[in-house]
A and B are shown apart, each in its own frame.
Chain A
C-alpha cells in the first residue's frame, strides 16, 4: 500500500508546512507540454482499459437485452428482446435468494476480514522482529494459496464422512454441542446442502485467505504513525482501547477506506470458492449472483443474454455501493 507512506502524520492537530517553492520558473512552452504530459502518459493505459474492459462491458450491456445462445455466437443475428431478460430475472426466486446470499455474505465477510486483519496487524506491530516475521510469513502463505486450492482444502475439512470438522464437533461433550449448535451427533452431517452451513464454510474459507492482506496493510499503516503520538496519548491517561479509537484509527482512516472498498468488491463477486464448495451448479439455493450468472450463461443450452443481465445487475450494485463510499471518503478528506 503506497498510500500509507503518504499519510500525513500530523493530521488532526498540527499544521503542515507549505511545499517549498520550485527552483526556477518554467517557460510558457514547457508549461504547456507539462500540462499535456499526464494525458499522454495515461493514453496507453486508457487504450488497454478501453479494449479489455469498456468494450466487453458495452457488449455485456447489449447482450443483456438480447437472446443469445450458441447459434448467435456462431454468427447468427441476435434478436433484441428489450427488457425481457431483466423482467425474467427480477421475477425469479433464484435471483432474490442469490441477491440475499450475495449481500449478507459480503457484509459478514467484509466485517470479519477487517476485524481479524486489524487485530492481527496490531499484534504484528507489538511483536518482536523474529516473531512478527514468522507470523507474517505464515499468514501470507494463506493469502498466496490459489483460491481453487483453498476451496478444495476447506471442502475436505468439512467433508461429511471423513472431514476433520465433523470429527472435532463429535468430540465435544454432547450437552455443549447441543447447547451451541442444537445437535449432538455430527457423523455424516452434510455442510453443503443448505445455504446457511455452506456460507459458514465459505465465510471461513474467504476470511482465512484474505485477512493477511488487511493485516499487512494495517501493519504498514501502524509503522507510519509516529511513536510520540501514542506516547502523548498514554501520558494523557488513555488506555489501549481509547488510544486505538482516538489516535490509531483516525490516523489509519485512509488505509481502512481503501481496504473496505477493496474487500467489498472482492467479497461481492466471490465465485471460485463457492463453485467448488457447492460442487457445481445443482443446488440453486446456495447461488450468489456470480454463480447464478454463470449457471444461466454457460449451462447447456446457454442463455448468455440472461447471464449478461445478471452480471449487469451485479456490476450496477457494486458501482453504487463503491460510488457512495468513495464519495464519502472524498468529502471527509476535503473537510
Chain B
C-alpha cells in the first residue's frame, strides 16, 4: 500500500517535471515597459565574429561619434547563427540595443513584429542617403515605409584553390559543363578531396539559388498578390537535378554535404578537403584564420557561371542598419547610422568586411573590379536578386531547400521533392 502511494506520488512529481519541460514556452513576460537606456551611452549590435580589424574600425567610428555628439558608443558583436535568438530575447525582455545590424531579408520579419522603428521620414531628410538607388531599398520597404538602411552588400561567388587549378592546368570554368569537368578532374587527381562541395545546410538557399536563376528559373513569384513556390518549374528542376547529381551521379561531393552549411564547408576547405564552394567574400578571413598556410596565391574566387556561359545572378545579401523600437534615443541612433552608412565609412569598411558598398559611384570605380579578391564578387553585384519580401520568408529560406536536397539525396525524385518544397513555400507564405 505504502509503496504504491510513494510510487504514485513519485510518478506525479515526475510528470510535473515532464510538463515543465514541455511547458517552458508558457512563460510570458507580459507587457513590460522597455528599460530606459543610459542617455550617455548608445548600444550597437553588430553581427559576426569580432576580430581586430572590425573592432578597430568600429572604435574609430565610435570615437568620431562621441566627439560630435558627446555620447559613448558601445559595440557588441553577435555570432550570425545566434542573431535570431538574441533579437528575440531582446524583443521579449525589452532590453535591446539602440542600433542593430540586420540581414536584409530579416527586415520584413522584424518590422512585422513591431520591433523596428519606421525610418521613412528620417531617411527622407538624409541627403547622402539619396545617392543609394531606390531599387536597392526593396527589402527595406514594407507597405511604403522604410525600416532599415542598406549599409553594405554581399554577393556570393565560387571560392577555389588557385594552386590546385594551376597544378592540374584547369582554366576558370565558364559554363556548368566546365565547372563539372574541373570538379571531376580534381576529385580524381586528389584523394579524399571533393571537387565541388554542395551546401545543404541552413543557408543552402543562397548556394542553390544562383544555379536556378542561372538557368532562367525562379524560386518564388508574386502572382496577383499571392506568393507561390516555383521550384517545380522545368528550369528550376533542371538546376536542382544538376546540383544533386554532383553527389548522386558524378560523385564529386560527398552525400554528407547536405548536412553542412557554409561555415562547416569553409572548415573543410581550410583543411584541404574541398577544391570549390560557393560563399561570400567575407569567408576569406575565416579561411585564413583556420589555416595560416592558405596564402593569397592559394585561394581565389570566380563568379559562378550560368549554364551556358555568363555570370549567374546571385542573392543580393545585404547588411542593413536599423533602429530598435525599444531604444530611448531614436534620433541619436539614426545620427549614428548616418555616420556609419556614410559614403566615406562605407568605402573604408567594405574591403575590411569583404562586402561591397551600395553607393553607385563607389562601385563604378575600378577599386573593386580590379581587386583580385573582391573583383569576382563585384562582377556578380549588378546581377543581385532577392526572394519574397514577406515576413514568413525567413522560415522558408532556412528549411525548404535543406529539406528538398536531403530528400533527393536520400532517393526521392526531384519532381516529387520540388513539388513538396513548393507546397511548403505556399503554406509558409500564406499562413
Name A's B-contacting residues (CB within 8 A).
2-3, 6-8, 49, 52-53, 56-60, 63, 69-71, 73-76, 160-161, 188, 190, 192-194, 254, 257-258, 261-262, 265, 268-269, 271, 279-285, 289-290, 293-294, 297-302, 304, 307-308, 311, 314-315, 318-319, 322, 325-326, 329-330, 332-334
User: Do the beta carbons of B3 and A7 come within 8 Å of each other?
Assistant: yes
How far apart are the CA atoms of A254 and B256 in the complex, in Å? 47
List of A residues within 8 angstroms of B201 by Cβ: 282
Residues 212-252 of chain B: 1 if any A CB is under 8 Å from the residue's CB, otherwise 0?
A: 00000000000000000000000000000000000000000
Closest CB of chain A to B1's CB: distance in Å? 6
Closest CB of chain A to B246's CB: distance in Å? 14
B262 CB–A CB distance under 8 Å: no
List of A residues within 8 angstroms of B273 by Cβ: 161
User: Do the beta carbons of B259 and A192 come within 8 Å of each other?
Assistant: yes
List of A residues within 8 angstroms of B114 by Cβ: 70-71, 74, 76
List of A residues within 8 angstroms of B406 by Cβ: 193, 283, 285
Closest CB of chain A to B390's CB: distance in Å? 11
B202 CB–A CB distance under 8 Å: yes
Q: List 27 A-B contacts (CB under 8 A).
A: A6-B6, A58-B26, A60-B25, A70-B91, A70-B113, A70-B114, A73-B28, A160-B259, A188-B254, A188-B256, A192-B259, A193-B406, A194-B410, A254-B3, A254-B7, A261-B7, A271-B21, A279-B259, A284-B403, A293-B25, A294-B25, A301-B112, A304-B25, A311-B26, A318-B18, A326-B11, A329-B7
How far apart are the CA atoms of A333 and B30 in the complex, in Å? 47
List of B residues within 8 angstroms of A193 by Cβ: 255-256, 258-259, 406, 409-410
User: Do the beta carbons of B11 and A258 come within 8 Å of each other?
Assistant: yes
How far apart are the CA atoms of A326 and B403 in the complex, in Å? 41
List of B residues within 8 angstroms of A330 by Cβ: 4-5, 7-8
User: Do the beta carbons of A160 and B88 come within 8 Å of each other?
Assistant: no
List of B residues within 8 angstroms of A161 by Cβ: 256, 273
User: Do the beta carbons of B10 and A261 come within 8 Å of each other?
Assistant: yes
Residues 23-41 of chain B: 1 if any A CB is under 8 Å from the residue's CB, otherwise 0?
A: 1111111111000000000
What would 15 more interface pairs be, CB under 8 Å, given A70-B88, A193-B255, A301-B113?
Answer: A3-B6, A3-B10, A6-B6, A53-B20, A56-B26, A70-B92, A74-B91, A75-B32, A160-B256, A188-B254, A254-B7, A283-B402, A297-B25, A311-B23, A314-B22
